[in-house]
Amino acid sequence: MCGIIGYAGSDSDAIDVLLDGLSGLEYRGYDSAGVALSNQTLHVHKREGELSALESALPKSEYENESVGIGHTRWSTHGPPSDVNAHPHTDDQNRVAVVHNGIIENYQSLRDELTAAGIEFESDTDTEVVPHLISTYLADGIDRETAFRRAIDRIEGSYAVAAVFEGTNTIYAARRNSPLVLGIGNDGYYLASDVPAFIEYTDRVIYLDDGEFARLSPSEVVVTDADGTVVETSIETISWDPEDAGKSGYDHYMLKEINEQPDALRKCLRGRLDELEGTVDLESVPPIQASGAIQFVACGTSYHAAMYGARLLRDRGVSAQAFLASEYDEETIPVGGESVVVGVTQSGETADTMRALRAANRAGAKTIAVTNVVGSSAARECDHVLYIRAGPEIGVAATKTFASQQAALTMLACQLTENISRETIQALRDVPDLIQTVLDTSNARAVAETYEDADAYFFIGRGYQYPVALEGALKMKEITYKHAEGFAAGELKHGPLALVTENTPVFALVTGDDERANKTIGNVKEVEARDAPVVAVTDGRSEVERYADHVLEVPGAGGIASPIVANVQLQLVSYWVANRLGRSIDKPRNLAKSVTVE
């Protein structure tokens, strides 16, 4: 989704900071980019397409003395990608330039009002109403900051907004339901939607809260509330190493992040498991007596992790259910203080998940955020937060965060139910090494090459492997752009079997040798009988290999670790199919890393 960067510094290098910042935001997904530099006059440059298009269009040498500016990567919502629709947007006298993330819900009525007053709009965007509103107030003789605040007061919906004006070196910003973080550097101040935009310059940050405003100049940063009263802020230090956000020699972030899973998991587990005592200690989540239901809300990959978490709880005798956050409504919200709603969200900013969590907060449920991003909206707005500690994930396709979510949710289920065995602790402890074994020995690349021309890919699993089947299909479709679907293995015969042909490989997740495994083998036979190629993703405990054309091994002792390990094989298959097809693996078309609109 859209990304914002801003810099007010004492060094004359704003243009470099802005371009670095935009590059750090690329992973969020975008289709155009732009910058505005402010001083005596405003200079705005914007281009459809990759950042390189903007860079080529920028007369950089003309801006060597500029030290203040804002930049933006746009992910289209109102109007197609184009130079004109790209941000920043300005008023008709070029006095103010504005960048915006989010959706202005009342933009049409504002646009009608401004048009009736004789203002001509250039773009299709909702954002353009903001500079025109500000300009109207400036024309009434109102000072810049008040004009900015009045304009923000008029807009409804979600926004992170930043504005620069001609004739001043100050940036004004505000947020509601869309993230904004301030960076405190030695030679100036930064503003961004996300820390990777400025992590190479500073690791000291202030998170803006909803309803707050910020004023940044080269000499100070001031945060105020809606009434203009100065807010006391605390500076936090980010523990990410800038190197963590680089590719470290891998061709793609996705491959790097797949390979980081053993390390990410060790960090997730560190200090939280006590083998001798047989206990889990999630310091940030106190023991909660959940006498009501436990509900999970999440989207996409995080929803698959949530399904896994809900099953863990059900298997421990607790009534638990995972909901797609976008489908979670008033009727599903538990009433009273004894119910628990767990929001699973890597970014901590997903609009659908935040809406569901806010509704749960209002209904009086205890809320827990399971997230990767320190200081994110989910982390700040929930009663408790469990960090998955996966480190920055730049590839749009979630990989290491899924594994870390599964591990974190396993620990959470143990803590919430006070039900943990030494076997579970051992199984969790073994996961990083088992994943390393998969990474070192996987034949996923060969399997991918065999099936790169397939018409479609199907994934089946039961129990804990069902969410992994869904996740395998999601990964395949989002980075290869090919049709892929995941099914509960038992559902195949209720319709999807009609799709199966000799050119639709079926990936069957079969671990262990219990009734579930044997039933899935029955489904595999149904597939085999219709000449579809079968790829068994298995620990070799059952006889599924007999019916398979290929095997992807899942090392280890089975149990709760298997789904986490098995998924890595599927990540690798998708990666190599996408690689063979030459897809834009880290930034798949139409997708964004952080989805901040409903």
Q: Which residues are catalytic?
A: 2, 593
- Contact flag: residue 135 with ligand M6R (CB under 6 A): no
3-class DSSP assignment, residue 438: helix
d(CA 550, CA 531): 14
Q: How far is the CB of 410 from ligand M6R (least distance, A)?
A: 17
Pairing of strands 68-74, 32-38: antiparallel
**φ and ψ at residue 510, rounded to 5 degrees:** -135, 105
Residue pointed to by tokens 């963590």: 244
Segment near ligand M6R (CB under 6 A); pick from 62-70, 229-237, 299-307, 355-363: 299-307
Q: How far is the CB of 396 from ligand M6R (least distance, A)?
A: 6
Q: How far is the CB of 591 from ligand M6R (least distance, A)?
A: 7
Between 342 and 427, whose beta carbon lies closer to ligand M6R?
Answer: 342
Q: How far is the CB of 371 from ligand M6R (least distance, A)?
A: 8
Between 472 and 533, whose beta carbon lies closer to ligand M6R?
Answer: 472
- Can you give the length of the chain in residues? 598
Between 231 and 591, whose beta carbon lies closer to ligand M6R?
Answer: 591
- Contact flag: residue 101 with ligand M6R (CB under 6 A): no
- Contact flag: residue 302 with ligand M6R (CB under 6 A): yes
**φ and ψ at residue 383, rounded to 5 degrees:** -65, -35
**DSSP assigned state of 230:** B
Side-chain half-sphere CA neighbours of 524 within 13 A: 27
- Contact flag: residue 571 with ligand M6R (CB under 6 A): no
Tokens encoding 92: 């008709």
Segment near ligand M6R (CB under 6 A); pick from 113-121, 234-242, 390-398, 489-497: 390-398
- Contact flag: residue 351 with ligand M6R (CB under 6 A): no
71 burial level (CB within 10 Å; 0-12, 13-18, 19+): buried
Closest of 195, 575, 176, 189 to residue 347, by C-alpha: 195
Which of 212, 478, 485, 539 binds ligand M6R (CB under 6 A)? It is 478
Query: Residue number with the shortest CB distance to ligand M6R?
Result: 300
Which of 39, 90, 178, 346 binds ligand M6R (CB under 6 A)? It is 346
- Contact flag: residue 301 with ligand M6R (CB under 6 A): yes
Between 131 and 588, whose beta carbon lies closer to ligand M6R?
Answer: 588
Full strand arrangement of the beta sheet holding 188-192: 42-48, 32-38, 68-74, 3-9, 188-192, 181-184, 204-207, 236-237
- Contact flag: residue 398 with ligand M6R (CB under 6 A): yes
- Contact flag: residue 261 with ligand M6R (CB under 6 A): no
Segment near ligand M6R (CB under 6 A); pick from 215-223, 340-348, 429-437, 577-585: 340-348
- Contact flag: residue 448 with ligand M6R (CB under 6 A): no
Question: Could you give the C-alpha distances from 555 to 122, 332, 462, 486, in angstroms and in order?
Answer: 59, 39, 19, 22
d(CA 342, CA 327): 15
Q: Which residues bind ligand M6R (CB under 6 A)?
A: 299-302, 345-347, 350, 353, 396-398, 474, 478, 594-595
